[in-house]
Each structure stands twice: as C-alpha cells, then as structure tokens.
Chain A
C-alpha cells in the first residue's frame, strides 16, 4: 500500500507521456503496467513494424542499386534476422522509457490494475499478490487497445495460421504466401514488408480503396505502386467460405465482379482493434462508455466520474500513439491545475510507413465535397521534383486542398518517400491557421522534396512554377 498523487493504468504512449508530464509538474506519480513500458506502440506496433519496413526498404533499394553504379552482387534475405533486430530496437525503446521513469522519479508498479474507488487502485502483481494504492488527486485510465480477430467470418486468431500483427512481428521467417485482411495502415505496412521479403502477398479490403481513411488519390497511388511491386490488391472484397487448416487457410473472395478461391500459409488479420475496457472496474465506478464502447471523456480528458480521467486508444479513435501522447499531456496539465490548450482532433496527422509512404492532415477531398465546402486543389508530382529524381524515388505527390475564399488549409496529403516527415510543415500551417499564401511565402530550400509542398500551395492558387 502506497500513496501517490496520480496513478496511470497502463504505460503506453498516452500513459507514460502523461506520467512524465505529471512528474515534471511536481506530482507524485505511479504507472501500473503488466508488460513492458511503452505499450503497443513500442512493443507491438509502431516501432518494431518500422524497423521491419526499413529492412524491406533496404532490400528494395538494393535492387535499384545497379542503376546507381553500385552492384551489391547476390542479395540474400533473412526475415529472422530482421525480426530479431526489430525486437532489439523495441526493447531498446522500452528501456529508454524505463530510464525516463527513473529520471523523473515515477514508480512502475508491475501488475494488472483495477479501479477500486475514486481515489484508489488495486493491483494484482505478477506473483499473484493483491495490493491497494491510493491516488490522492487522480486516476488515469490509459489501458490502450488490442488486436481483435474477425470471428464473424471464421477468422478467429489462432496465432499460427490466423495471426494478428502481434504474431507477424515475431515470425521466424517470411511466409511463402500470406493473405492480409484489412488494408488500413497496419495491413498495408505488412503487405509491403512481406512483399519485400519475397512472400506472395494478397491484400484484401472490404472498402472500395486501400487505406480507406486517406484521400482517394493517395489510396490509388499506393495501390498502383503495390501492384507494380507484385502485391495482389483486392478492394471492395467480400470474404466467404473460410476454412482454417493446420498449415494453411483457404477462402473465397469476391472482388471486382469476380469470385475466386484463395489459399495462403498464413492469414494476417489487420482489421480492427478493441479498447481494453474489461476487468478494470469501469462499471463498478459508474464510468460511462460511448456508443462504440470507448470510455467517454470531455475535452479535459475527464470521464463521467470526477477525479478519473481516460486517455489514448481506450478513450476513442483515432487510435494513434501521437494522439494518446497529447491527451496524456493535457490530462497532466488539467490534474496539476494548469491551463491546457484544447486538442483539435482535426489537426492530428495520419502516417503510414509503407513504400511509398502516406501522410495526411485534415480533410480528404471527398469529405470536402460531402461538407459542400468551396475548395481548390493544388497538386504537385514528385516526378517533377529534382531531389526525388536524384534519389530515384519519384512516386507520389503533394496535394493541398484549400478553402476557395480564405485559402485556409482544409486538408493536405502526401504520398512518396519521406512523406511522413514532410507532412509536419503542413501540420504546423494548419494548426496555426496559416493559409497557402503563408506556406508559399516561406522559402523552401533547393533541392528538397519539400519544394513539392510549396509548388502544391502555388498550384492551389493557380501559380505553379515547375509543372
């Protein structure tokens, strides 16, 4: 039994960032975490997946190398090695969070937590002991989310032939044939990884486009690139007749007016995540949920029960690490009695790290149409950008959608090498209500990929220079 000011339930990006900010603001802080610090992002998501994508990208670049006068000879691929390196990066990052906890004097309580009243948390430790801890100021629910299978169509996760991203990250070798269900960020990234490591990849999406939350132009550009890469892409697909065998899975997929039987060694279910709301005492404390089953919060991260906060995936979409981190910071400021600037959820960027990369902020063109906004589009292809040509990565474009009257940035979409890095110029612009004129006024260095952003801004005003 110990007493703290604040206790976080879960040490993922939302929880650990919130905890650090709480400690910085002088609050005695503890985090209950049963696994490693860093949560899904560090252990089973963002970080290890990006390490694998980098491995695949090196393989692809090496195929291009002879054009550059560099002949690497025979290139051998070993997914197991890439996987082990990726695990290493993961645990390095998790250790990094542990270090930050020590530095900020945050207590890591190893175990599984449950709310035990407004100001108290009970923890079942790894060795089965039950402890109770006081949280004098606040309890913050940051339990995150988890992968879920698709049992409704017969794709229950069995961790062997039907797997989630969790298992995909620790495969010893790349499967010969893999069928990926769900072409959001996770599905598209794994399609890229396994394709680069020589697997025969089929990517299946029920929506009309892959990366369905992105602008249709972005989705089409990536789909085109994936096909060129040898990935079979099936969109608007209907899955039926799923048979899960010992070493393989078969199913019928109807797409593009054609119904075909497919068979693969492994099916990766990359559709949907569920918030971790069970067994943490929400009901007992009377904490309200949203219609979609997330913990209901207000803009100050407060749940329906005073003194209990919720942040990150468990508090609702978009389920993104950077959204959770920001919510963690806001919760900490509120708990410490400081003024917190309200988070504008329309300014949270999206980033997908497949090749070409996809990044965006704000509205898609379709959303602008649906909202009946008066808008103008500016678009610039990387094929016309000098820097992109030098590196031989000319796929993709920058697309800026601006308000017709005031020039505000309604949405920005980038597909191409380093898109996920470049988007932030436009995130800064949009967040601070700059218009395309301010973007154009900023001088962009030459030669850089970012010049494409300036050109797209100009194009939206009908003044493009280089195309």
Chain B
C-alpha cells in the first residue's frame, strides 16, 4: 500500500482494476484506493505480470503492506509471498531484501529484469527499514527530533536537524542521497512548514501542478531581532500561533451591480459574489506579499505567487483545495475552478497536489447565514480570511440612512508574521477592490 497523500496512514482498496495474470507496465493503474482525503489510483511501480492479488476489494491496510506481486511470468514468487504472510500492521512486512534499493525512490536505477517486484514497492514515508538501518537518533542529541521523522525514513543527521528546525516532515520528502536517503539538499529544497503544505515529493511528481518551491516564486527573509522578540513573546502569551483578528464590513453594492451587468451578457459571464471576493482577495494578496507568507520558524517566506486555498466542507470534514495563481486568473476561470474543486472535494476525488501548496486561505460560511466568524489559521500560512453572509443593512451615507448590501470579513493573522497595521493595510486594499470592483480589471 503506497502512501498516496502526505498524511495517509492506511488505505482501503475500493476496486481492483487488473486481474491476476494481467500484464502490467510501470505506471498502469492497478486499483482504486480510498485514502484519508480522496479516492485515488494505485499504480504499478514495475513491469511484469500481476501474479497475485493479496488483499480483497473493501480491505483496509496500513501503508507499506504488500497488496500484490508483479513479477516475471514464470518467476518464483514464493519468497515474496512468504514475507507477506505475516499479519499486516506495524511493523509492516517488508519483502524487500535489505540490499535491494527501493526502485521507486531511485527512479534511474534499473530494477533488474527478473526480480520479483512487489506492488508497489513501499514509498516514503514508509520505505523498508533494513536490519542495518540508519543509526537511531543519538540519545543525548538535542531531543527536538520529530518522532515521525525518525525510524523508518532514511535521512542524514544534518537533514534531521534542519527538518526539525524548519518544521518539515521528512516523511513527505523524496531523498536524493544514496538509496533515497534524505540529505540536507532535500530538506532545503522542501516547501517548509507543517504537513498540510509539505507535499514536496509528490507535488514535484505531478507535472500538472506548479511546483511551489521554484526559485523566484518566493523570498525567504531571516527574522530580525524585533520579529524574533515579537514571535517569542506573543507565542508565550497566546497559543503556538499568536493570532489576532481584524474585522471589516465591506459594501457589496458595486459588486452586485457588476454581477447583474455580467449576468445580462449571458450565462457564460455569470459569477458568484464569492468568485468576485476570491479574485479580489487574490489581487490584494499579490499587492501585499507581506501577508501572503509562510512562517518557517527561523524565517518568513514571502510568496511572489498567490495560491489561494479555499476551505470546503465535505461530509467527511474540512478540506482546502487550492486555486493556483489565482491573482492572474480571470473571474470566469476562478469561478469554474472553484466549482470544480468543491465538487471534486465533496466526491473525495482531489489529487494531493490539488489540496497542498496554498499560500493563503479563505473560508466562507455566508451560505449558512453566519454574520461573521473567525477562521483558524492553516499553518504555516500567516493568515486566513473568514467571509460572512452578505445582507442588506441600514447604513448612513452622506448623513442619510440607506439600505446597502454588506458583508463582514474577518482576517485571522499570525502576529509573528503580520502586525496589526500590516493586516489593516491589506484589508484597506481589499476594501478598495471590493467597493470598486472595476479595479479588478487592471
């Protein structure tokens, strides 16, 4: 069972797509697997014949469990099967011999013409732990090592230290050292931060999604002393993320006017208020990289691109799909993507790269009639916007009471990154854009 998402611990085989005896090539879908987040394809990691299916449709097994065997047509697979006979569960049975590198980790190494390749070979975060495994972390070494990062993942001591410092989960990385060992370079190239955004290896493997760690997409700025003190003192005062909240009430009159004008042009120009808000937020973020940022422990990463996460409620819970480069996309495209992502999220069909890599997130409970609320920051992001319901209100304009459509937006800010005035300025820009939506054309 391959780890198909950074946080996946076990997978349920929904359906086999190949029968025993079918010839398979590397990359062919073997079956469908339901993970904690989505239903995804399990693909072959080697060429040969699907000789044996070891679990049944509907079975749930831990990551790393042998689910089937791909081998040569007449190859003896008894050894591999014997290895799989052990009950599944941690420690997962590993049919691989210690001297056999996990081919998936080192794609360029040929797997050899006649070696039985288990389907699929365990991927990080659960590569085989050979008997002569990497040394256990030294007892008296600084004990900041992440429990999840030790043990099964092959990594250098320096890589482990860097990772714990930066909050990178080693399990999500693809090592470039010998036999897939994670080395310093891999940690440095990882999109740092907590598990939600750290899909490095996988995101890179999917050509469809822009790689977030590309140089030039962001600037890392080391903390100056003022920031260090702010971070330390405020964290002591409130939670691990010292959050404060800024609320504004925005006037939607012109957005409503624009919407109806667009709707008159035909269905293809129809967008929701939420779509306009998303676009406006993305544009505002592009003008305020100081809030479009990640907190990385020893530095702050300011992004030059805007990947907007949008919280979607599903029957199974919350998931945050991402609209990549939202600031540069037209409103119609944002509308299409938002709809499609929400739909696929509810169907649990999102691919990992579709729900990782956001630089800033938005949560909207307007459809539930919530006037205003505060959303919880999705670390390492520095802020999140909570959008309430749009409603008609009596407001005073030029000394006269008038009825206007208004919406309340609350920004949760990580004070280690965003100071009050900085957040306020961003909201000022957002107000200007929302109340003058024509500016979004620029």
**Chain A: residues with CB nearer than 8 A to chain B?**
337-339, 341, 405-408, 432-435, 437-438, 441
Query: What residue in chain A is nearest B107 (Cβ atoms)?
Result: A339
B106 touches A434 (CB 8 A): no
Query: What residue in chain A is nearest B179 (Cβ atoms)?
Result: A341
Q: B106 touches which one: A339, A406, A407 (CB < 8 A)?
A: A339
Q: How far is the CB of A418 from the nearest CB of chain B, in Å? A: 27
A406 touches B158 (CB 8 A): yes
* B319, CB-defined interface residue at 8 Å: no
A406 touches B138 (CB 8 A): no
Assuming the A-B contacts A341-B178, A437-B138, are A432 and B156 also in contact, with contact meaning beta carbons closer than 8 angstroms in the complex? yes
A339 touches B108 (CB 8 A): yes
Which B residues lie within 8 Å of A338 (CB)?
A: 108-110
A438 touches B157 (CB 8 A): yes
Give bound CA distance, A406 to B157, whole Å: 9
Give bound CA distance, A297 to B32, whole Å: 45
B161 touches A407 (CB 8 A): yes
Which B residues lie within 8 Å of A433 (CB)?
A: 156-159, 183-184
A406 touches B108 (CB 8 A): no
Q: How far is the CB of A343 from the nearest CB of chain B, in Å? A: 12
Which A residues lie within 8 Å of B258 (CB)?
A: none
**Chain B: residues with CB nearer than 8 A to chain A?**
106, 108-110, 135, 138, 141, 156-159, 161-162, 165, 177-178, 183-184
**Most chain A CB neighbours (cut-off 10 Å) among B135, B141, B158, B178:** B158
Assuming the A-B contacts A341-B178, A441-B138, are A435 and B161 also in contact, with contact meaning beta carbons closer than 8 angstroms in the complex? yes
Q: How far is the CB of B174 from the nearest CB of chain A, in Å? A: 14
For the complex with contacts A339-B108, A432-B156, A433-B183, 14 further pairs of A-B residues with Cβ separation under 8 Å are A338-B109, A338-B110, A339-B106, A341-B177, A405-B165, A406-B161, A407-B158, A408-B184, A433-B159, A433-B184, A435-B157, A435-B158, A437-B157, A438-B138
A-B contact pairs, 24 of them (CB 8 A): A337-B110, A338-B110, A339-B106, A339-B108, A341-B177, A341-B178, A406-B158, A406-B165, A407-B158, A407-B161, A408-B158, A408-B184, A433-B157, A433-B158, A433-B159, A433-B184, A434-B157, A435-B158, A435-B161, A437-B141, A438-B135, A438-B138, A438-B157, A441-B138
Give bound CA distance, A189 to B69, whole Å: 60
Give bound CA distance, A103 to B138, whole Å: 45
Main secondary structure of the interface of B (DSSP, over half): loop
Q: How far is the CB of A49 from the nearest CB of chain B, in Å? A: 33
Give bound CA distance, A408 to B183, whole Å: 12
Give bound CA distance, A341 to B176, whole Å: 9
Which B residues lie within 8 Å of A434 (CB)?
A: 156-158
Q: How far is the CB of B210 from the nearest CB of chain A, in Å? A: 26
Give bound CA distance, A153 to B108, whole Å: 52
Q: How far is the CB of B148 from the nearest CB of chain A, in Å? A: 20
Give bound CA distance, A192 to B183, whole Å: 41
Query: What residue in chain B is nearest A441 (Cβ atoms)?
Result: B138
Give bound CA distance, A438 to B161, whole Å: 12
CB-based closest 5 A-B pairs: A433-B156, A339-B108, A433-B158, A339-B109, A408-B158
Q: How far is the CB of A45 from the nearest CB of chain B, in Å? A: 30
Which A residues lie within 8 Å of B141 (CB)?
A: 437
Which B residues lie within 8 Å of A432 (CB)?
A: 156
Query: What residue in chain A is nearest B134 (Cβ atoms)?
Result: A432
Which A residues lie within 8 Å of B157 (CB)?
A: 433-435, 437-438
Q: How far is the CB of A298 from the nearest CB of chain B, in Å? A: 15
Q: How far is the CB of A340 from the nearest CB of chain B, in Å? A: 9
Give bound CA distance, A337 to B109, whole Å: 9
Q: How far is the CB of A320 from the nearest CB of chain B, in Å? A: 22
Give bound CA distance, A433 to B159, whole Å: 8
Which A residues lie within 8 Å of B178 (CB)?
A: 341
Which B residues lie within 8 Å of A435 (CB)?
A: 157-158, 161
Which A residues lie within 8 Å of B138 (CB)?
A: 437-438, 441
Which B residues lie within 8 Å of A441 (CB)?
A: 138
Which B residues lie within 8 Å of A341 (CB)?
A: 177-178
Which B residues lie within 8 Å of A438 (CB)?
A: 135, 138, 157
Q: How far is the CB of A448 from the nearest CB of chain B, in Å? A: 22
Give bound CA distance, A339 to B156, whole Å: 20
Which A residues lie within 8 Å of B159 (CB)?
A: 433
Give bound CA distance, A338 to B183, whole Å: 21
Query: What residue in chain A is nearest B106 (Cβ atoms)?
Result: A339
Give bound CA distance, A385 to B183, whole Å: 34
Q: How far is the CB of B349 from the nearest CB of chain A, in Å? A: 35
Give bound CA distance, A435 to B158, whole Å: 6
Give bound CA distance, A408 to B162, whole Å: 10
A406 touches B162 (CB 8 A): yes
Q: How far is the CB of A341 from the nearest CB of chain B, in Å? A: 6
**Most chain A CB neighbours (cut-off 10 Å) among B106, B109, B110, B157:** B157
Give bound CA distance, A435 to B165, whole Å: 15
Q: How far is the CB of A27 from the nearest CB of chain B, in Å? A: 15
Query: What residue in chain A is nearest B101 (Cβ atoms)?
Result: A339
Give bound CA distance, A407 to B157, whole Å: 10
Give bound CA distance, A71 to B110, whole Å: 63
Query: What residue in chain B is nearest A432 (Cβ atoms)?
Result: B156
Give bound CA distance, A341 to B106, whole Å: 10
Give bound CA distance, A445 to B262, whole Å: 82
Q: How far is the CB of B182 from the nearest CB of chain A, in Å? A: 10
Give bound CA distance, A343 to B90, whole Å: 37
Give bound CA distance, A441 to B157, whole Å: 12
Give bound CA distance, A320 to B184, whole Å: 26
Which A residues lie within 8 Å of B109 (CB)?
A: 338-339
Q: How far is the CB of B124 from the nearest CB of chain A, in Å? A: 17
Which B residues lie within 8 Å of A405 (CB)?
A: 165
Which A residues lie within 8 Å of B183 (CB)?
A: 433
Q: How far is the CB of B183 from the nearest CB of chain A, in Å? A: 6
Q: How far is the CB of A184 from the nearest CB of chain B, in Å? A: 31
Q: How far is the CB of B70 from the nearest CB of chain A, in Å? A: 21
Which A residues lie within 8 Å of B161 (CB)?
A: 406-407, 435
Give bound CA distance, A437 to B157, whole Å: 9
Which A residues lie within 8 Å of B156 (CB)?
A: 432-434
Q: How far is the CB of A25 from the nearest CB of chain B, in Å? A: 12
Q: How far is the CB of A417 from the nearest CB of chain B, in Å? A: 30
Which A residues lie within 8 Å of B184 (CB)?
A: 408, 433
Give bound CA distance, A28 to B244, whole Å: 71
Give bound CA distance, A405 to B109, whole Å: 35
Give bound CA distance, A341 to B177, whole Å: 7
Q: How far is the CB of A51 from the nearest CB of chain B, in Å? A: 35
Q: How far is the CB of B333 from the nearest CB of chain A, in Å? A: 40
Q: How far is the CB of B431 from the nearest CB of chain A, in Å? A: 43
Which A residues lie within 8 Å of B110 (CB)?
A: 337-338
Give bound CA distance, A406 to B187, whole Å: 13
